[in-house]
Copies of this chain bind each other. A is one copy, B any other.
């Protein structure tokens, strides 16, 4: 049975895209939502994204699906606030990039009869806020759900069908394994990109305009990643500390080995390493997660005007 009333708590890129995708899929559900800032509520109302409420408690009243779309650091506070107002039998989920920390923060506040099925749609852009959403964001992307072992099959099937209607493919995963996989595919890559951009910004011997003008040769892709929302990413690293530090340790170990090969002039080692990494790229294209068309910075902004 499909949801009749969906409540979105937080109104950024993900929540606004859920609203767009729900309407594209012609889901027959009321959409209510809460955003902390009045400006966001006004924008969301103007865009017709949801009935907006100044408190999360008001937004969730009567909803049979509640989706926490705030930064991870706000989820405990929100869970405590909405708990007394959740409808019996409602499903509660979230879209946080870390799952163990969200489970630990939310579970203690769960009232009897509410089914909590944590989730994480692996989709995003470098933009944020209620105006940044669009209906196609989840198309062909994965949404990972990390249900508790005793999750009701019917509730899980309902949430799965919801994400599929939004365009996503759904998979189940154990929360700690999710956090490790995401440390590899997302969290550490973001930290590295932020670091590289920070180094470039800081270097007195190379000017900012040199970095900016001559970014087409690789650096540009890092800046796109490093332009993501700072609050969201602070919370990711604060709440997935162990897996991030674990993978970072592996990364620096490998980096030092390559650095040593450069210092020693070990060409065969470098060539072998660079050849091996090509295979993963092919796999990603075959899995439909990117295209083989060459990327050369897409249409330059000036020409696109």
Contact = CB atoms under 8 A, between A and B. Distances in A.
A142 interface: yes
B252 A255 contact: yes
A46 interface: no
B241 A284 contact: no
Interface in A246-293: 247-248, 250-252, 254-255, 258-259, 262-263, 265, 267, 270-271, 273-293
Contacts of A247: 199, 203
Contacts of A280: 197, 200-201, 208, 211-212, 223, 226
Most buried by B among A171, A254, A263, A273: A273
Contacts of A255: 191-192, 195, 248, 252
Contacts of A250: 199, 202-203
A75 interface: no
A195 B141 contact: no
A210 B185 CA distance: 9
A38 interface: no
A147 B186 CA distance: 42
B276 A218 contact: no
B252 A294 contact: no
Nearest to A137: B296
A196 B188 contact: yes
Q: Which DSSP category, helix, strand, loop or mixed, fits chain A's interface?
A: helix
B300 A288 contact: yes
Contacts of A254: 195, 198-199, 202
Interface range, A side: 35 or more
Contacts of A140: 300, 302-303
Nearest to A221: B221
A290 B303 CA distance: 11
A97 interface: yes
A283 B212 contact: yes
A26 interface: no
Given A199-B247, A203-B247, 16 more contacts: A123-B217, A142-B214, A184-B199, A184-B203, A185-B218, A189-B196, A189-B221, A189-B222, A191-B258, A212-B283, A212-B287, A226-B280, A227-B281, A234-B267, A290-B301, A292-B301
Contacts of A220: 284, 289-290
A141 B216 contact: yes
A154 interface: no
A87 to B, nearest CB: 32
Contacts of A292: 301
Contacts of A297: 141, 289-291
B211 A185 contact: yes
